[in-house]
Amino acid sequence: MTDTSTTLAGGGEEYPKSAPIDREINGPLDETEAGAIRPSVDLGALRIEPKRGMQLRLEIDKNNNRVIAVTLEHDGSTVQLQPFAAPRSSGLWHEIRAQIMEQVRKQGGTVSEIEGPFGPEVSAKVPVQTGESFGTRNVRFVGIDGPRWFLRAVIGGPAATTPEAADIIHNMIRRVVVVRGNTPLPPRDLLPLRVPPTGENPGVEGA
């Protein structure tokens, strides 16, 4: 249940922004808020700060060779990141959160809305099939409304249920910088991601 659509579905209603009250200070930051340049992997719309033990994987749509998501992994925990264009004054997460919950239920999973460190989030158990066996896995869906962008994070592995592992993943999300750019884009369109320049980070893997 890690949908990597390049456009988010939505209606015409306006909702308030949903983000940590300290987002502008502690992240995830907009490029205009980032201040002094920290070491980072330039992925276009996202800049990722390297961390010891972290693996970075790009998810690529093989139909058009387009990067559609960035997945960070640390000690078995994963977080899939996707930045989308958003309105300047209103947010996307309140509506998208309800859509995610409906989608998980339709797929036979269980879902609940909880309050997390980034605000309201979705905690889910989604059905999975491994070979001939069926089971469930725990996933957390996090959404953060920034200035003219929306960042969706899907957390899996130990960080979905274990506080110690979650803290590490949360810190990695906080260190992300979103580069919205000035190109006009419809709200909910995926912001352009790209493979980093050759040699910038030898630990980056393609998917």
Q: What is the pLDDT of residue 9?
A: 64
What span, in angstroms and rounded, lies between the C-alpha atoms of 25 and 23?
Answer: 5
Domain 23-194, second-level architecture: Sandwich (2.60)
Residue 77's pLDDT is 98
pLDDT tens per residue, range 192-206? 999 987 655 544 444
Q: Given a cut of 60, is residue 153 above it in pLDDT?
A: yes
- Answer whether residue 207 shows pLDDT above 50: no
pLDDT band of 2, cuts 50, 70, 90: low
pLDDT of residue 97: 96
Contact 41, 198 (CB under 8 A): no
202 versus 163: the higher-pLDDT residue is 163
pLDDT of residue 35: 76
Q: What is the pLDDT of residues 32-81, one digit of tens each?
A: 998 766 789 999 999 999 999 999 999 999 999 999 999 999 999 999 99
The mean per-residue pLDDT over the stretch 135-164 comes to: 97
Q: pTM for the complete prediction?
A: 0.89
